[in-house]
Amino acid sequence: MPIQLHEPPIQSILDSVKGESKITLHVKREDKIHPLISGNKWRKLKYNLEEAKKLNHHTLLTFGGAYSNHIHALAAAARGFGFKSIGVIRGEEHLPLNPTLNDAKAFGMSFHYMDRATYREKHSESVLAKLKEQFGEFYLIPEGGTNELAIKGASEIITPIVNDYDYYCCPCGTGGTAAGVISGLKGLGKVLGFSVLKGDFHKKEISYWLTKTNKQNLNNWEVITDYHFGGYAKYDLELIDFINKFKKETQIPLDPVYTGKMMFGIYGLIEKGYFPTGSRVLAIHTGGLQGINGFNERFGILLT
């Protein structure tokens, strides 16, 4: 599988929701980088893949849930860049495999299922030692792909367009992408991270990664916690209807776990008058579209 990466285009969104606010809304189509290794997953993997090669590793090992975008993208990247890959999957094996794991297996990934209690301790020395006993040496990439090298990669989402916009919006899972965008902006504009999980812990996570990368002095960011729809992978029909309507009107697909919630939140903030008149807003499409097949399989075909 040759890896051919593409420059993500920026697409203007023309929609009556903006009304008379004269807000400019664009989407940076990071999902267009590659059909399998797209969005923030490529950004987070880029420098980790380089480091694994530099250290002469031949196997990548990572963690994730059964529908994980990270598992899917890492499996594809490993095959494309000549690595073996091992996915430590939370929970028990379920056959037949869902679309995410079926793809990952086709890309050559081997699975190791881990009970949930052990999985919570997955980065402990004892758990990692047992994995090394079983699989030998490997290059470890954390769940979700977020580490210091991932922050470096995510900062490159924004460096070509620094100061082109007033607001830069992205969904928040681990907080790594938001930290990278904040880092890349170097204090210019404002970053809005739309949490897809219940709770307000993202502030702590983003602060942690900014400190780890010596960017703790940057404070031009905010976490929006009003659009998680009940928690990770939770949804309601209002969100589904919004995603389907948005695709019909813009030809931009959104996923229900990350980008759909972000875009719903952006429209909600516009309607509430959050953005000053004339604001230039950029939404960062972080990919994750592979998850739509699994979502439709789990809940019935809801997304077009």
Of the candidates 42, 46, 78, 73, the one whose C-alpha atom is nearest the C-alpha of residue 60 is 78
- The secondary structure of residue 251, as a DSSP letter, is S
pLDDT in tens, 20-77: 678 999 999 999 999 999 999 999 999 999 999 999 999 999 999 999 999 999 999 9
> What residues does each domain of the chain span?
10-36+147-299, 40-145
In the predicted structure, residue 1 carries a pLDDT above the cut 80: no
197 alpha carbon, distance to own chain's centre? 13
Distance (Å, rounded) from C-alpha 168 to C-alpha 266? 11
CA angle, corner 72, sides to 62 and 148, nearest 5? Answer: 45
Average pLDDT (112-123) is: 96
How confident is the model over 76-86, as a mean pLDDT?
97
Give yes or no on whether 10-36+147-299 and 40-145 have one common fold. Answer: yes
What DSSP letter does each residue of 80-142 carry, written as one string?
HHT-EEEEEEES---SSPPHHHHHHHHTT-EEEEE-HHHHTTTTSHHHHHHHHHHH-S-EEE-
10-36+147-299: CATH architecture:
3-Layer(aba) Sandwich (3.40)
Mean pLDDT for 277-287 is 95
Residue 227, C-beta contacts closer than 8 angstroms, at least 6 positions apart: 194, 195, 261, 262, 264, 265, 268
The fold of the 40-145 domain, in CATH, is: Rossmann fold (3.40.50)
Band the pLDDT of 199: cuts 50, 70, 90. confident
